[in-house]
Amino acid sequence: MSDAPVLKVLLKRGRSKPIWLGHPWVFSGAVSKVVGEVGELGGPCVVLDERNNVVGSGFYNPHARIAVRVLQHRRTTERDFVPRPVLDVVQQRVHQAIRRRSALGLPDDHTNVYRLLNAEGDGIPGLIIDRFKRVGVVQIGSRGMYVHRAAIATMLRERLDLERVLVTVSEDASRMEQTIPTGTEDFQRGSDGEELTSSAIVEVQENGIAYEVNLAKGHKTGFYCDQRDNRARFAWFCGGHRVLDVCCYTGGFSLNALAAGSGHVTAVDTSPAALKALQRNAELNDFAGGVTTFEVDAFSFLKQARGEGRSWPRIVVDPPKFARSKKHLDDAIKKYARLNTLALAALEPGGLMLTCSCSGMMARDTFVRMLTESAHRLRKTIAIHDIWGAASDHPWPSVANESEYLKAVLVSVLDA
């Protein structure tokens, strides 16, 4: 497929300012009309304002709510604008992203798993790249990036001297774009991409803690790099205390707490594979005797703990995304409220709880209001000590605050 724009996407009156400012998305509701042969899959495009000025270029998808993911912005009419080839832009911005991570101190002797490129935050909407030592994992989120996936994998292998690059499309991304298939392709040295069938387990380090990560079966790109800083921050409060890790996955918060001197961690998750990985990770770090796992639904575990009068001085709650779209937000708020009410009931007097949401649809203020109401159900008042976001290798553009998704709120309960 040629990179030369073949479509013109004209914006409705008054809808171009965000694009001039650098917003990476054109929503379908902002499109006045499309000129050119769209076809079933869409294609490269230029975006024009109501005065017929080109404001940028990208890829048009006729089926998606995000109709255009803008790859290049014009910024001013005082200069001519000629769209550059997509792979030239990707290569330049990967190079810039590497320099940014180096400025953040990544990688270092204690951490070799991190986010190398964070979609809109690094100027390439629809593309996420995580690095796991000498393996790269690419998460494709747009048709425009999907058609270039093989070339992107080759470029990454050569630029970073990687042994292999896995390219994956999640069900969420496929559903949003509607024109890209789900699955994972394995691009190894000397071979084209093919369906992933071989082992994809790699041992990495984060904050000096070892993890075995199954890149073929893990969530997202295989590991939640976005919580790295928060795991270390919360661990600082865990020394000498028992910890309850709710929705523990493969043990990020649990292992950091144990490394900080926690007396014991109770880890809860519904996934037997995740709990098995947690136990393996505990063994890798000589923490095997410090954690007890429970394969059970978080709500059920907390309800039973409340009935038995069990409590913990330190609790972390990090559930999966409850709100996958705006239409799910009301139900998600109810789930978060129920979960946090039960967790707060299990918090010892004087204790600390870190509660998280990775639902981008839920604004920070909405999440805090939900926590306030959850505490009120227990006839209590919470104090907020801090609110953290994603790790520093997960930037987002200031013009698109909707890209900020992770909230981690450190709370305690005020005495009655």
Q: Which residues are catalytic?
A: 358
Helix spans in 243-362 (H): 252-259, 272-284, 298-308, 329-345
Residue in 107, 189, 90, 206 with CA at minimum distance from that of residue 149: 90
Round to whole Å and give the CA distance between 299 and 319: 11
**Token duo for residue 408:** 């981690």
Q: Mapping DSSP to helix (H, G, I), strand (E, B) and coil, where does residue 260 land?
A: coil
Would you say 408 and 355 are in contact if contact means Cβ atoms under 8 Å apart?
Answer: yes
- Sole residue written with tokens 């404001």: 55
Instruction: Please check whether residue 346 is in contact with residue 302, taking contact to mean a CB–CB distance below 8 angstroms.
Output: yes
Token code pair at residue 122: 């690094």
Smallest Cα–Cα separation from 111: which of 228, 274, 257? 228
Q: Which amino acid is at 269?
A: D
User: For residue 165, which of 201, 196, 202, 138 has the smallest C-alpha distance?
Assistant: 138
CA 213 from centroid of its chain's CA atoms: 16
Strands, sheet with 291-295, edge to edge from the N-terminal-most edge strand: 291-295, 264-269, 242-246, 312-317, 347-357, 407-413, 382-388
Residue 392, both tokens: 């520093």
Burial class (CB in 10 A: 0-12, 13-18, 19+), 383: exposed
